[in-house]
Homo-oligomer: A and B are copies of this chain.
Amino acid sequence: MSSHPDLPLHIPAEGVYAALHWDANGLIPVVAVQYDTGEALMPAYANRAALAKTLHSGWATYWSRSRGEIWTKGATSGNRQRVVAVRCDCDGDALLYLVDSIGPACHTGRRSCFSWLITPDGGVVCDRPLETPPDRNAANATRSDK
């Protein structure tokens, strides 16, 4: 999947920052998954500070590429994600946040950002309804959901 060597079985405290492979922008892909149901909630990115804040605070924190800032999910909407575990893959290319998501993870008001199903012919259909009204930051979603 990449040319990175596999991670060793044990890495000492604080060693994760050196062990992970950050891209040219200092970011690593993250996927957030509901810890008890396995529902894939959202893709995101983290930088070192976002990962550190996640580990220290217990609340899922990301790097917002659009806003260019650290972003603790739900800090404004209330739809926080309590972190149950943080994992990385075998060669340190990606993070998995296992979370307990309070409310919708998607800014459109859906439980999951992965609500768009790709059909075998290459069409796409959003097959999951809104759970709550989109938040006030979801201008595009509000338009397309009408």
Contacts and interface: CB of A to CB of B under 8 A. Distances in A.
Interface in A99-146: 106-108, 110, 113-126, 138, 140-141, 144-145
A138 B7 CA distance: 12
Interface string A7-28: 1111111111101000000000
Nearest to A90: B113
A42 interface: yes
Interface in A40-81: 40, 42-45, 51-52, 55-56, 62, 64-66
Nearest to A115: B90
B39 A118 contact: no
B93 A43 contact: yes
Interface of A: 1-3, 5-17, 19, 29, 31, 33-34, 37-40, 42-45, 51-52, 55-56, 62, 64-66, 85-96, 106-108, 110, 113-126, 138, 140-141, 144-145
Which A-B residue pairs are the 7 nearest by beta carbons? A38-B38, A43-B94, A11-B124, A14-B122, A89-B113, A13-B121, A3-B66
